[in-house]
Amino acid sequence: MYDIAIIGGGVNGCGIARDAAGRGLRVLLVEMDDLASGTSSRSTKLIHGGLRYLEHYEFSLVRHSLIEREVLYKIAPHIIGPLRFIFPHQKGMRSLWLMRLGLFLYDHLGGRTILPASRALDLSRDEAGAALQTQFTKGFEYSDCRVDDARLVILNALDAHERGADIRTRTKLVTAKRDGKGWDLHLRDLRTGKSVHERAAIVINAAGPWAEEVILNRLGVDTQSQVRKVKGSHIVVPRLFEHERAYIFQNLDKRIIFALPYEDDFTLIGTTDVEITGEPGDVEASAVEIGYLCEAVSDYFKKPVHPADIVWSFAGVRPLFGHERINPSKLTRDYVLELDESLGTAPMLSIFGGKITTYRVLAQKVWQSLEKVLPKGARENWTSEVALPGGDFAIGELEELVAHLQQSCTWMDNKVATRLVRAYGSRALQIFTQEGKALECGEDFGCGLCELEVSYLIKTEWARTADDILWRRSKLGLRFSKEQVSRLEHWLQEREKGA
């Protein structure tokens, strides 16, 4: 019997699993697809306070999100890093004094000790102005952080597992029924088609945009809460500017569009707000959204962006909590926890909404909500101080780790070694070396992705398919040719047959 069963292997489910396993609870997490295959790999990839939420007076959300930036950066410096944002002033939009006030609040609302403060910019002199049209002469610069969203999920799952949690991917919750003693969960292994039954005292519904479907169809419980499903799309184009800062643009409809340096050679542009009613797993960036994003950034950059430039696009669905009459872009990005104890002894907790940025605090709040029904488990909050796997090195030591890895593995060029340290942190040395000597790497599938790494991902990080490896454990999908993808797929099939 598990203490808690978590439905959903996104950032919230995996963050809760880590927190609970570290408190000594018996944890089961089921994910019907791959870890992070839902919204949590389809975000703008920012750990941010959310400058624009200040306009909606969401001061509490902005404050605890701002504090989280540095907390998360310290526990995962390999996958999280500081990012400066250029905010050009556009006549007829938010006034200079309003931008200055917003940034003053952003600097002072909470928790900024490492990240530099905001400052005014003369874009006619700053190199960031060179990529912009000449009318943009004034602006500001401020700090937030970037994150590898999918790896954040996987590292939380890995840490949870290393603390005893049972993580089952490709496993769907079919139904769950409660009796006086807990929940009986009917699960299906989607790879073998086999049904399995497990028992848990508490169910946590962390199914993101599927949360309502899980409550109504899988758990058979009634709810008054509404999840609004709001699609957001992104496009990726070859790098549009040479520096390492990002841009935040105000669009004519008053929405905000980001253009971020991405994976060294690309620019990531997003996002949109389109309400949907269908299955959240099937979403794609539509031609209209692509046109909207291209036009929005072409109003700022000297070199216009065209749909033909796009090398990749993706869409995700925000599971937002709120009433159907509110405009999607004005719905709160904060989360709501709903505890259902109608049968007294078999509680269920549902999570609605939330951000990547707030997943760790959310997991602590889950613990607080369940404390009275779960007498067992350590009470002290612990996740703010303990590094995620591979994150146990000081901020600023990343280059040293890269050099160390290259010294041991002479076949690696700087690009490959940097990718590996950014993905695995200090664990890169454990994966690729033994007693200071390079391990045999096997076939190179392309861009330095070798058999040794693929086997590690299968054995340790629940990877099964080429997509798991090329789009969630890494972003090598941006660089692989069709032939390289086919070769990897073939190798994985052969390995599976032999297993």
What residue ranges bind ligand FAD (CB under 6 A)? Answer: 7-13, 30-33, 37-40, 42-46, 48, 172-173, 206-210, 214, 218, 232, 271, 316-319, 354-357
Helix axes 59-75, 359-370, angle to 10 degrees: 110
Specify the residue, 262 or 445, whose C-beta has the smaller distance to ligand FAD: 262
Structure-token pair, residue 314: 């993706």
Candidates 245, 252, 260; CA nearest to 119 is 245
Task: Give the up-direction half-sphere exposure of residue 463: CA atoms within 13 A in the CB hemisphere.
Answer: 28
Rg (CA), the chain: 23
| Distance, CA of 453 to chain centre | 22
Distance CA 30, CA 425 (A): 26
Pairing type for strands 256-262 and 119-122 reads unpaired
Structure-token pair, residue 339: 């505890």
Candidates 22, 55, 465, 467; CA nearest to 256 is 55
Q: Least Å distance between CB 375 and ligand FAD?
A: 27
Task: Give the up-direction half-sphere exposure of residue 40: CA atoms within 13 A in the CB hemisphere.
Answer: 35
Specify the residue, 129 or 354, whose C-beta has the smaller distance to ligand FAD: 354
Dump strand ranges (E) for 134-288: 138-147, 166-168, 171-179, 182-189, 195-205, 227-238, 246-250, 256-262, 266-270, 274-276
Q: What are the DSSP calls for 154-187, one per residue? A: HHHHHHHHHTT-EEESSEEEEEEEEETTEEEEEE
Instruction: Kindly list the distances between the CA atom of residue 124 and the CA atoms of 301, 302, 425, 434, in Å, as whole numbers in the listed order.
Output: 14, 13, 39, 52
Specify the residue, 384 or 433, whose C-beta has the smaller distance to ligand FAD: 384
Distance CA 260, CA 297 (A): 11
Helix axes 11-22, 149-162, angle to 10 degrees: 30
Q: What share of the chain is helix, strand, coil (3-state, %, to 5)?
A: 35, 25, 40
Sign of CA pseudo-dihedral 356, 359, 360, 362: positive
Alpha helices in 241-390 (DSSP H): 287-298, 359-370
